[in-house]
Each structure stands twice: as structure tokens, then as C-alpha cells.
Amino acid sequence: MFYLFESDFLGLIPETFLLLGLSALLGYGVWYEKGRESDMTSHQLWIGGLCLVFTFILLCESPLMNMILCYNTLIIDGMSAFLKSLILISTLCIFGLSFAYLPQERIKAFEFIILLLLATLSLMLMVSSYDFISLYLAIEFQSLGLYVLAALKRDNEYSTEAGLKYFVLGAFSSGFLLFGASLIYGLTGTTNFEDLGLLFTGVGPTDLFTQGSIVVGLLFLSVAFLFKVSAAPFHMWSPDVYEGAPTVITAFFSIAPKLALFGVLIRVFYLGFFDFLFSWQQIFFFCSLASMVFGSFGALGQVKIKRLLAFSSIGHVGYMLIGLATGTLQGLQGIFLYLLVYMIMTINAFSVVLSLRTREGEPKFLLDLKNLNLKSPILAITLSITLFSMAGIPPLAGFLSKFYLFFAALDASLYSLAILGVLSSVISCFYYISLIKLMYFHKADEVELKPILPIDSQKGLLLGLSFFGILFIFLYPSPFFLLSHAAALSFS
């Protein structure tokens, strides 16, 4: 039997390494934890970060580029390599943010690191999944870890509420996913994406009776995924969860699962159900529109920083869904580019928010940003450039990615989506700019300047790198274009 899987284990070397590394870390942590809890988290962060770096190197050096593994349950291709490396980088950034955050919030549980590593592993497996069963298992694996991470501060009401809400709605959407997948399995007798794609080749709109139920299955699947990526009619949970979870976990939530879920969405709908393009295009069209509108209008009324960031991420998900709705390779490339830029911007925004910590704790409200210019001019300029980039103001990275997506939409004749996208990004400018006004032009008379705690070197490094990325990707975008193009080409 082993000869059947001989080379499969070669393809899974990065994941295997990550698994072995985190098992060793778990054993190390639980064995030597007694009496030195605070040292332990920092050890684990360093070693876990190292583990991620090695996994990244193994991933990049992997000689196997295109392969189907483990008896048609997993696949390696350009997209999986691209998204897996983004996931690893984002987890590494989260680790960088955690160095100062964990002691500040007195989180002594080293399981934080283990669960993050397990979640990373599951996200990597999720991007590779090639079959509904492996997809479902990977999603469950990922969500279980994330529910626990959201409720990590178990004495804090917000955090437990976040965990509970995330759990209930996550379980609900997993149920939808299962229902849709079992409908499709019941009608076709296969769960494999490629087999489904082959089976559906050239299906015309003739037999509505059979096809109708496939379309309903498809509807359930897309609702489940849209729940998970928190796209608009299904976004209710995300502001609460983002607000309640510990801030580094919020940063993780808003980056890594979205990277993996967009990979999965693309794999399911472009590989398995591409011949039903005109059915699912409408769903994503509507959801993308709704997410952009809800994202920008919902953010206008917010007073808390993390809720604002949650709404902004809903808006970004809407822009990315434009790329999905196009049904073209250009749209896919736009999504990949957007994901990359979104990752950089979100890392930057969250590291600024975490750097604003004063002696009294983390800033919660937008008003805490008042007069940031006087307190720390460099942080103020970083945050304002990032916000400009999120809004899509020209010479910044965010503009590049949005521009590319809108052009993809125009090429696919989705004119209304492109126009409304531009309009909603104009609306989103309002609240981004109102933040900047708060930082720079607020009257300075009644301020009591609480000093900001010094920023540790890891966070400084992250701030610098991501700021550099936001500023200069526009000047030399070709490597990123090439990377995202290579990722998109796996669906040509």
C-alpha cells in the first residue's frame, strides 16, 4: 500500500514539518510549563516563528509543483503554493505582534501559539483540499481552533461572547456546507471537484428538474462560504467577534482564514462548478454589491476601532468577490493581488492599533486616536497612509489592487459592479478621512496626552516592512503581478 502514496508524502513535507514542529512544541510547553509561564510563551513564540520560517522555506523549495495527493483528496498547484506562503507569512506577522501583546494582556497560556500553528496547518490543508470531504474536515479543524482562540480571555465577557457567536454561526454555516455538499453528492455520486467539473462539462439549461436541485446545492455551498468570509448579507457576526476577540487574534481572523477561504471558493467554483457560471455569478454579484455597500455605510456609524476594522474588512471582501463574479482568469489574478495587498494593509493597520497602547490599556474607541499627531507623528503618518491605501487613493498599494479588480470587472462586462465599486470606495473614503481628521486636525486644547508605551522591535519591524510595502508596491509591481498570475494560471 505504501507504494501508492510514496511520492505523496514528499508533496506534504511542509505540512508534515509544521505538524511535527508543533507537536514538539506542545510536548515541550506542557512538560516545562510549571512555574515559568511567562517565559514559556516567549520561547514558544520564537520557536514557533522559526518553525513557520522553515515551513515557508520547505514550501518554496518544494520540487513538486503540480500534483494530486492522497488518493484524490489533496492537490498542489500554483494557487495553493501562493496562498500557503501568504498564510505562513501572515501567521508569522501575527506572532510578531504577539511578542509584546501577550505579556501586556497577561495571557500566559502557551496553547495560544499551539492553536495558532494548528490553525495555520489546517488553513494550508484547506487551500489544498480537492474533495468535499477533505474540505469539510479542514474547515472544521480550522474553525475549532479559532473558536477557542476567540474565547481565549475567558474572564472577559466580550471575548466569551465572541467565541460563542463565532461558534454558533460557524457551526450553522458548516451545516449549510454539509447540506449543499450532500445534495450534490446525492445527485452526482461524487465529491471530487475535478470529477464534478468533468461531469458538468457542457451542461446546457435543459433539464431544469435535475439541474434545479444542483443549483440549490450550489446556493447552500455559496451561502456557507459567504458566511465564513463574512460577506454582506451574512456578515452580522463579524463585528461582534472582531471586537471581542483578543486584538492579535482579530488580526489573524481578518487575514489568514480569508486567504484560505478565497482559495477554497475559487477552487470549488472554478474547478468544480464552472459550467454553472451563470448561476453562481448572480449570487456573488449580489453579495459583492451588498458587502461593499454594507461595509462602507456600516463603518460610518462606528465608534470603536476594532468594529471599524471589521466593517472595513467586510468591504474588502466585497471587492474581492467582484473578482470571483467575473469568472475570468484576470479576475482571479485580481483577487490574488488584492489578497496580498489586503494582507499587508491589515497587518499594518493592526500593528498601528496595537502600538497605540497606553499605560491604561489598549485603545478601544476611535476617539482615542485624537491628536495622535502630537503624541507620535510617525504612527500618525503610517496610519493615515494605510487608511489612504485602504480607501484606494492613487499612488499606493490599495489603489493598484482595486484598479486591477475593476478592470477585470469591466473586461467581464460587469459594468454596474465596477461603477458601484468605485462609488462605494468613494463613500468609504469618508470614514477613513474622518479618522485622519481626528488624528491631525482635532482641537488640541482639551487634550491630556497619555504617553504611548514604547514599541517593541518586532512590531517596529512589521510596521516598517508593511509601510514600505504599501508605499512602494505601486512603483515596482511586476513581481507581484507575476506571482499572482502564476497562481491564477493553475485554473487556465
Residues interacting with other proteins, by CB under 8 A? Answer: 1-2, 4-5, 19, 23, 26-27, 30-31, 33, 70-71, 73-74, 109, 111, 114-115, 118, 121-122, 125, 133-134, 137-138, 140-141, 144-145, 147-148, 151-152, 154, 163, 183, 186-189, 199, 203-204, 206-207, 209-210, 212-214, 216
Task: Please report how close the Cβ of residue 154 comes to other proteins at its closest, in angstroms.
Answer: 6
Task: Please report how close the Cβ of residue 444 comes to other proteins at its closest, in angstroms.
Answer: 45
According to the 3-state scheme, what is the secondary structure of the chain? Answer: CHHHHCCHHHHCHHHHHHHHHHHHHHHHHHHHCCCCHHHHHHHHHHHHHHHHHHHHHHHHCCCCCCEEECCCCEEECHHHHHHHHHHHHHHHHHHHHHHHHHHHHCCCCCHHHHHHHHHHHHHHHHHHECEHHHHHHHHHHHHHHHHHHHCCCCCCHHHHHHHHHHHHHHHHHHHHHHHHHHHHHHHHCCCEHHHHHHHCCCCCCCCHHHHHHHHHHHHHHHHHHHHHCCCHHHCCHHHHHHHHCCHHHHHHHHHHHHHHHHHHHHHHHHHHCHHHHHHHHHHHHHHHHHHHHHHHHHHHCCCEHHHHHHHHHHHHHHHHHHHHHHCCHHHHHHHHHHHHHHHHHHHHHHHHHHHCCECCECCCEHHHHCCHHHHCHHHHHHHHHHHHHHHCCCCCHHHHHHHHHHHHHHHCCCHHHHHHHHHHHHHHHHHHHHHHHHHHCCCCCCCCCCCECCCCHHHHHHHHHHHHHHHHCCCCCHHHHHHHHHHHHHHC
Q: Name the residue nearer to other proteins (CB basis): 51 or 115.
A: 115
Q: Name the residue nearer to other proteins (CB basis): 199 or 381.
A: 199
Q: Name the residue nearer to other proteins (CB basis): 37 or 362.
A: 37
Q: Name the residue nearer to other proteins (CB basis): 195 or 362.
A: 195
Task: Please report how close the Cβ of residue 129 comes to other proteins at its closest, in angstroms.
Answer: 10
Closest CA to 156 of 362, 14, 297: 362
Task: Please report how close the Cβ of residue 250 comes to other proteins at its closest, in angstroms.
Answer: 18
* 463, HSE (Cβ side, Cα atoms, 13 Å): 20
Q: 406: buried, middle or exposed (CB in 10 Å: 19+, 13-18, 0-12)?
A: buried
Q: Name the residue nearer to other proteins (CB basis): 67 or 410.
A: 67
Q: Name the residue nearer to other proteins (CB basis): 200 or 440.
A: 200
Task: Please report how close the Cβ of residue 106 comes to other proteins at its closest, in angstroms.
Answer: 15
Task: Please report how close the Cβ of residue 374 comes to other proteins at its closest, in angstroms.
Answer: 41
Task: Please report how close the Cβ of residue 150 comes to other proteins at its closest, in angstroms.
Answer: 10
Contacts of 199 (CB under 8 A, 6+ apart): 188, 190
Task: Please report how close the Cβ of residue 122 comes to other proteins at its closest, in angstroms.
Answer: 7
Task: Please report how close the Cβ of residue 187 comes to other proteins at its closest, in angstroms.
Answer: 5
Q: Name the residue nearer to other proteins (CB basis): 253 or 404.
A: 253
Q: Name the residue nearer to other proteins (CB basis): 26 or 76.
A: 26
Task: Please report how close the Cβ of residue 59 comes to other proteins at its closest, in angstroms.
Answer: 19
- Give residue 403's Cα distance to chain centre: 20
Q: Name the residue nearer to other proteins (CB basis): 107 or 340.
A: 107
Task: Please report how close the Cβ of residue 223 comes to other proteins at its closest, in angstroms.
Answer: 13
Q: Name the residue nearer to other proteins (CB basis): 199 or 429.
A: 199
Q: Name the residue nearer to other proteins (CB basis): 175 or 395.
A: 175
Residue 345: all three cell numbers together: 494593509
